[in-house]
Amino acid sequence: MARAYAAGLLSALASASLAVEHSYADGPFSYSPFSYPSSASTHQASHEVPPPESAAKEEPQRVRNDYPRTTASGFDPEALERGVKAVREVNSSSQGKKVFELMKKQEETRQTDLAAKKAQFQALQSQHETERQQVIYEEHKKLAQQKAQTKAEMARYEDELARKRMQAENESQRARNQELVKMQEESSIRQEQARRATEEQIQAQRRQTEREKAEIERETIRVKAMAEAEGRAHEAKLAEEVNKRMLVERANAEREKWVAAINTTFEHIGGGLRAILTDQNKLVVAVGGVTALAAGIYTTREGARVVWGYVDRILGQPSLIRESSRGKYPWSGILSRAMNTLSHKADKRSPSSNGSGFGDVVLNASLQKRIEQLAGATANTKSHQAPFRNMLFYGPPGTGKTMAARELARKSGLDYALMTGGDVAPLGSQAVTKIHQLFDWAKKSKRGLLLFIDEADAFLCERNKTYMSEAQRSALNALLFRTGDQSKDIVLALATNRPGDLDSAVADRIDEVLEFPLPGEEERFKLLKLYLDKYIAHAGQRKSNWLLSLFQRQQQKILIKGMSDGVIQEAAAKTEGFSGREIAKLMASVQAAIYGSKDCVLDANLFREVVDYKVAEHQQRRKLAASEGGSI
């Protein structure tokens, strides 16, 4: 029995050995039949299981025989020997059955592990398949999303193309509309030009007809006058003899009368001369009387001249003053000053002609507000006995600097005096004396005086100029001496077109600088309405005495037709670059054109004609000034 068991065990070991060798060579698992597999070794084996494909690839390789005891196929007989030896040991051992049971349990455990690994491998395969299916699903989903995105982009692109096409069509339609509007405007302009040309032709024909009619009337009057003259000549010829005889008789009578009177006069003169020449005492008295009379007349004249010169120098107005609100002498102009005061009070109570409370001066809003502030500050300064502030007005000619100075003095309650810088240079060495006399006279004003020097750069220019004479330098130094300190009696206001030419010391004495620019379109509109009212609507109205108005011939009133604000606004737009003085001259030209017409009527056509002529004249004058400046 023991032998049979030993033989069975030996055969099992041999088969196990062969199976082990075959498994080492061919199978995916390797283990020792006489070793207890640990969990670590089992886990390591589970991780070291090569995939079936790698095992299939390694199957055809031949095992190198590095040991001479092995066969060519790789069989090692030592394993069999070890197995036999082990069988013997087991057979001889008393625990052989237990060993066999242990080996059987080990084999069952190994088979269980293999089944678990197989199940794990199948689970991995199914997971891999699931992941592959999921990847395929994701790829299909991404493809569908890309197709949807591509389709949406195509739709957006087509929509963008359609929108751009519509925009291009709208732009082209807008361009066509603009072209049509431009063509319509050009057509309307041409129609307006044609209408104006037609109206001008009609007016020219009408004037030609009126001239021809006037010529015919003059010719008729001339023929009638000639016929009447011939009739009168014939009548005079008939009465010529009678008239000639009457005239001859009258002339003879007059000649005899004058001859008798002359003879009587010469007889009396001759008798007196004979009496004086024959009597020596009468001759001495006559010569002495004539000499005394001549000496008395000469002495009286020269004495009166000396006395009047002294009075004029002490009390009179300086010769440099061109215009002043004060009289030439303290007692002169009292009545006129009282009337001016009453008129100024009336002006304060009633709005002025231009609606700004600033007389005939039309300025832009900011400059007018600044001047009104200066007027109020100057009035308050005078009432508080504080020093006055000197001013500089600069800007192009004709922009209202002098008129603004007058209004500033009037609103601040000061007297004003106007002089020009060009009057100083001809005085020569007397200029210094005249400057001091001027300032002494100005200090005598009880209300304070605004001294306005127009064209100040004429003698207040830089002292290092080569053409400046010594007398001009002395006059400038005298003015600088009198204005060195702040004055409580005199406000010095300088006006110039070239402020950069003033001496630095003069500029240092200036406290306020005001620029007077050319009037804008709104200011030109106001000026045109102001001078239209002054020169046209109220033309010929004088502020004279009612007694003199009884003996003066009333002027013909101008009739205004069709002069709307639109016509005046059009003229304001055309007169860009005009100063206030040029606009006043333009309205004076309109007045002259009205007086030159037959019916003394102002209409829109005549007004436009004069405005166009003055605008062309203004442009020509600017071209001439530019050419002269370029030639210099």
Pair (513, 609) in one structural domain: no
Pair (621, 507) in one structural domain: no
The DSSP bridge partners found for residue 418 are 323, 452
Dihedral angle of Cα 26, 28, 32, 38, to the nearest 10 degrees: 180
For 101-151, write each residue's pLDDT tens digit: 888 888 889 899 999 999 999 999 999 999 999 999 999 999 999 999 999
In a domain, 355, yes or no: yes
Domain boundary among 475, 500, 517: 517
Domain count, the chain: 2
Output the average pLDDT for the chain: 78
Pair (548, 497) in one structural domain: no
For 473-492, write each residue's pLDDT tens digit: 888 899 999 888 888 889 99
Pair (605, 509) in one structural domain: no
The DSSP bridge partners found for residue 490 are 449
Q: Would you say residue 276 has pLDDT above 60?
A: yes
Q: Say whether 413 sits in a helix, a strand or coil.
A: coil
For 386-435, write each residue's pLDDT tens digit: 888 899 999 998 888 888 888 888 888 888 888 988 888 888 888 898 89
Structure tokens of 58? 């390694």
- The DSSP code for 518 is P
Pair (336, 395) in one structural domain: yes
Amino acid at 110: R
**Residue 337: pLDDT band by 50, 70, 90 thresholds?**
low
Dihedral angle of Cα 444, 445, 449, 451, to the nearest 10 degrees: -40
**Residue 7: pLDDT band by 50, 70, 90 thresholds?**
low
* pLDDT for residue 57: 41
In a domain, 208, yes or no: no
Let me know: does 438 contact 399? Beta carbons within 8 Å: no
Structure tokens of 77? 């007989």
**Residue 522: pLDDT band by 50, 70, 90 thresholds?**
very high
- Listed in sequence order, the residues at least 6 apart from 435 whose beta carbon sits closer than 8 Å to its beta carbon are 320, 424, 475, 478, 479, 482
Pair (537, 598) in one structural domain: yes
Pair (405, 535) in one structural domain: no
In a domain, 379, yes or no: yes
In a domain, 560, yes or no: yes
Q: Say whether 491 sits in a helix, a strand or coil.
A: strand
Domain limits for position 386: 324-517
Classify residue 42 by burial, with Cβ atoms within 10 Å: 0-12, 13-18, 19+. Answer: middle
Pair (361, 386) in one structural domain: yes
Domain boundary among 492, 517, 542: 517
In a domain, 396, yes or no: yes
How far is 69 from 106, CA to CA, in rounded Å?
A: 30
Pair (367, 427) in one structural domain: yes
Predicted TM-score (pTM) of this structure = 0.50
For residue 425, give the CATH number of its domain.
3.40.50.300
In a domain, 239, yes or no: no
In a domain, 376, yes or no: yes
DSSP for 520-554, written as a single string: -HHHHHHHHHHHHIIIIITTT-----HHHHTTSPP
**Residue 329: pLDDT band by 50, 70, 90 thresholds?**
low
